Chain A
Amino acid sequence: MREQGVDITPGTLFDAEEMVINMGPQHPSTHGVLRVILKLDGETVKDLDCDIGYLHRGVEKIAEHDTYAMITPYWDRLDYVAAVSNDLCYVGGVEKLLGIEVPRRAEYLRVALTELQRIASHLLWLGTHAIDIGAVTVLLYAFREREEILKIFEDFIGARLTAHAFRIGGLWWDAYPEFEKRVRDFLKILPGRIDEYETLLNANRIWLSRTVGIGVLPADEAINLSLTGPVLRGSGVKYDLRRAQPYSVYPEFDFEIPIGENGDTYDRYLVRMAEIRQSIIIIEQALDGLPEGPVMAKVPKVIKPPVGEVYFGIEAPKGEIGVYLVSDGTTKPYRMRIRPPAFINLQSLRRLSIGHLVADVVALIGTIDIVLGEVDR
């Protein structure tokens, strides 16, 4: 009898050498409604399978019935902890399809907001990853800083989580007067706070023994699994869409792409912490060079892209999020396809987990950094 790829043979607990255990969909550490079916020998994972789709809404199909402008809010709800990044992807895709030149001020503000969102997403990841491993306090500290970012979003965009930050052609609003000062104030305190987290975790023997050498993924395998984002860079591959396929105004900024050495859970943690620091540098540059001018390009009232198709991908906090749009010349897309980073990264869970213990599976789900809204779409 095979169900979901894991062999479930009937028998009592003591007849069977292996125990099949169902982690999720209601489980504290599967980050949403992921169902992981584990085949255990004692506590060692023999086999594992992910069952997804509990949060499936059919966003791609819904998009075929909505106009281009109406689709944007659905993107907020994909990776709902990084809504601004998702918006940039979709809006950028439509702009590429239309051939619109976005004003430079709008691009700079977009970069600043997207990098703030990257920091917020990584902070949330850090907190939940730490709480999975048992360090509860880091979560509260990370949320304290994330709250500041959400407040900035609320004042700029009007919403904290599902922001709907960008419009096709630019931004709906210009930055409010204190925006620059508030962001700078926040960036001033943030590096010290990151040092705080690192003192809690980096030198902690328990944290090290829980993360070092857990879920080692060599670079070649990471590429074969088509992973992107920090999971790939943790394995030592220097691939970041902001540099590999530059979009927006990223070529104008000076920043580094942190990579890991061993591809274990600890390296992926280090990569994300380094990325937060790089994001701070990018935001500072964006605020320094913020040009004057309009924030909205001239966009027709009714958006009717020419017949054609386009792919546009950006580096979201979790990896490459991309949109593939096919236009048939009407106001609605003929087909919209999302390249979800978390969905593709989740495929590595089986490869990472086999041979480790149950406790490590929890840490590994955390290290991949999934959001089920995006995995299930």
Chain B
Amino acid sequence: MLGTLTTLMLVAPEWVLRWTKEPRGNAFWAEFVVWPLIQILIVLFIVLTLVAYLVYLERKVSAFMQARLGPMRVGPWGLLQPAADGLKLLLKEDIIPLKADKTVFQIAPIISVVAALVVLAVIPWGAAWATIANVNIGLLFILAVSSVGVLGLVLAGWASNSKYSLLGALRSSAQMISYEIGMGLSIIGALMFARTLSMSGIIEAQQADGVWYVFFQPIGFIIYLVCALGETNRAPFDLPEAESELVAGYHTEYSGFRWALFFMAEYTSMLVTSAIAVTLFLGGWSFPGLGLIKNQTLFVVVSIVIFAAKVMVLIYLYMWFRWTWPRYRYDQLMDLGWKWMIPAGLANIVLTGIWYVLALPKSRGGVFGLMQLGLRDRLAPTRWSGIIYFVVTGFVITIPIIWLVLAAINRRTRDFNLHAQRQLQIKLRAKRLQKHAEPQAAGEGAS
């Protein structure tokens, strides 16, 4: 339903144009109404099932990491557990606190889940027809819509009329806003090479260059991963719902299916951020040797499988993080966001820009002339020399420079050098003990 609305929104201008120019034809309906609807239904069905099974996967992964078995009772190896959970949540009593703001309380989870689901429209699940809407500002659209998700959390925390919820909501709004900046900065480096905001365009650019942008942009990739963790409220940045501190954060007062919507939103946004990372940095659905498949349908199916596999690798990485690391404290999280991620992102943009300008063709003011005009008038390092140049600058020069910059910025930060901090305390303690020792000695002398 909502996906339909989005697609309608996206195709509406073109629709109106055609309506005024051409007589209504079957081809038009098929292309802009029927086919997108089928796509939306398929994607929604698959993604929602996948989200349910992501929860199952998370439980299994955590269980295997923790010397347990995880869900085993419902179906073979507990495979029907997601269905049982969903059913249970649907049948649960729907509790709205007496003093809650009822309307907002009901709307908040919907906003949250819609913001997460709408983004699915522009994700390139595979080659050719596997994308619902190939919008030329796809990435911008994703960043814009996923920011709306914060609104859902803030409203939920506010409407619950509970202090824990409010604290959770405040935390999450601050956290998501600060990490969105870092996220926005981290993708710019990759966009410099892709020269487009269209998701499919970015993948095509990587195919044309013959290299995934993670090799050009290692720092950008790392910043993106960290910020995506912060953006999706996953451990070690799961402060908004830190169970040991805030009970359950913004959704403390939610139960039943409303709670499930928040849960769904969280896992969907995990899926979406992984999909963006795959698109931007890991070549999307492209893979060496994929061009050997001549059958068009098979090609698309294989591309979808490759895309899904890459997304799953990243999601597994997220789960691995979650079950290994402790949680950051609120101020440390903000430190990491503002003093590490954002400066690193800015420095990365500047350095990438310098390498890029230096590598431009000599006619355009470059020095090395390692780039040529390629597809769609896009300047790209098509030769091996260019690719090696960017990989070397990315890994060997950019990483140390950014490390030095960050170390300089954070030299005086409390958490930067734990060893120095401890030494300081030992010194203070020694001083304190000295102070205590002196009067005693004086007392002994007097007696």
Contacts and interface: CB of A to CB of B under 8 A. Distances in A.
A binds B: yes
Interface of A: 13, 19, 21-22, 27-29, 43, 130-137, 140-141, 144, 200-201, 204, 206-210, 212-213, 216, 218-220, 261-264, 357-360, 362
27 contacts: A28-B247, A29-B244, A29-B245, A43-B330, A43-B331, A130-B326, A131-B244, A133-B244, A133-B327, A134-B327, A135-B327, A136-B323, A200-B324, A204-B325, A206-B236, A207-B326, A209-B328, A209-B332, A209-B415, A212-B418, A218-B432, A261-B426, A358-B245, A358-B246, A358-B330, A359-B330, A362-B244
A140 B67 contact: yes
B326 A135 contact: yes
Looking at B68, B326, B332, B433, the one whose CB has the most chain A CB atoms below 10 A away is: B326
A262 B67 contact: no
B422 A213 contact: yes
Interface of B: 62, 65-68, 163-164, 166-167, 235-236, 238-239, 242-247, 323-332, 414-415, 418, 421-422, 425-426, 429, 432-433, 436
Contacts of A144: 67
A342 B328 CA distance: 27
Contacts of B330: 43, 357-359
B236 A134 contact: yes
A137 B331 CA distance: 24
Contacts of B164: 21
A9 to B, nearest CB: 15
Nearest to A220: B436
Contacts of B433: 219
Looking at A136, A212, A264, the one whose CB has the most chain B CB atoms below 10 A away is: A136
A359 B329 contact: yes
A133 B66 CA distance: 17
B371 to A, nearest CB: 39
A336 to B, nearest CB: 36
B429 to A, nearest CB: 6
A316 B68 CA distance: 31
B418 A208 contact: yes
A357 B331 CA distance: 9
A130 B62 CA distance: 16
A134 B235 contact: yes
Contacts of B65: 137
Contacts of B66: 136-137, 140-141
B247 A262 contact: no
A190 to B, nearest CB: 15
Contacts of A212: 418, 421-422
| A-B interface, 4 closest residue pairs, ranked by CB to CB distance from nearest | A134-B327, A140-B66, A29-B244, A135-B326
Contacts of A28: 243-244, 247
A48 to B, nearest CB: 14
Contacts of B327: 133-135, 206, 210, 359
Nearest to B423: A262
B326 A133 contact: yes
A261 B423 CA distance: 10
Contacts of B167: 21, 43, 358
A349 to B, nearest CB: 15
Contacts of A206: 236, 325-328
A216 B432 CA distance: 13
Nearest to B66: A140
Looking at B235, B323, B325, B426, the one whose CB has the most chain A CB atoms below 10 A away is: B325
Contact of A216 (B238, B247, B425): B425
Contacts of B245: 29, 358-359, 362
B62 A136 contact: yes
Given A13-B166, A140-B66, A359-B245, A209 B422 contact: no
Given A28-B244, A135-B325, A209-B328, 6 more contacts: A133-B244, A134-B242, A206-B328, A262-B429, A358-B245, A358-B246
A367 to B, nearest CB: 13
